[in-house]
Amino acid sequence: MEEFNVKNFLFSSSATVYGTPKYLPLDEKHPCIGDAITNPYDTIIAQSEWNIILLRYFNPVGAHKTGLIGENPIGKPNNLMSYIAQVAVGRLPYVSIFGTDYDTPDGTSVRDYIHVVHVAIGHIAAMKQFEMNCGLKIYNLGTGKECSRRAGNLATVYADPTLAAQELGWTAQRNLDEMCERRKS
């Protein structure tokens, strides 16, 4: 990056770096897997004055109305919405819901689903932070709303998107019902 004078770096990450939640909702200060990870970017930033933004997505779903970004219901499903889409287009006969033993209201795991268009809007909002020489910033991109279930997952994981709202002026604009409805069009 130094060779090409790249001073800004926006990295798309995942909420999975948090591992098993120690508290909810998850905010950017929550420890990552390994709990005591020291951040190698701190040294880089101090030495090179780089601006690095990490966006941690919580379960992106859906597609842009053009179909250019988002999930393709033809491939192997990798989340609940993909399975639902494949049932909707007739590629699968039904959706199996696994697990009823989690410590949640319905016994299934809880997630925070975010529409891919809002992830893209979050990227644009984050890139504006580069103008302020932001150093290292971490933002959770999620709705902060809880929804149930995917097999093999932790019982409950959802975002605290407060910092992204405060510093980026970014909030998710669709609830899960709207994400599903837009998926059909």
User: Over the stretch 21-41, which tens digit does the pLDDT of each residue have?
Assistant: 889 999 999 887 754 444 554
| Each residue's pLDDT tens digit, 61-118 | 887 888 777 766 666 777 777 787 788 888 889 887 776 777 777 777 788 888 889 9
Query: How does the average pLDDT of the chain come out, rounded?
Result: 78
The active-site residue out of 41, 83, 102, 113 is 41
Q: Give me the half-sphere count of Cα atoms (radius 13 Å) on the Cβ side of residue 85.
A: 23
Residue 18 in this model has a pLDDT that exceeds 50: yes
The pLDDT value given to residue 44: 43
- With cut-offs at 50, 70 and 90, classify the pLDDT of residue 45: very low
41 catalytic residue (yes or no): yes
Tell me the pTM: 0.62
Residue 172 in this model has a pLDDT that exceeds 80: yes
Report percent pLDDT > 70 for the chain. 78
- The residues, ordered by sequence, that sit 6+ positions from 81 with a Cβ below 8 Å of its Cβ are 61, 62, 71, 113, 179, 180, 183
Q: What structural domains and CATH numbers belong to the chain? A: 44-184 (3.40.50.720)
Q: What is the DSSP letter of 177?
A: H
Q: How many CB atoms lie within 10 A of CB 46?
A: 11
The pLDDT value given to residue 55: 94
H-helix or E-strand containing 138?
strand 136-141
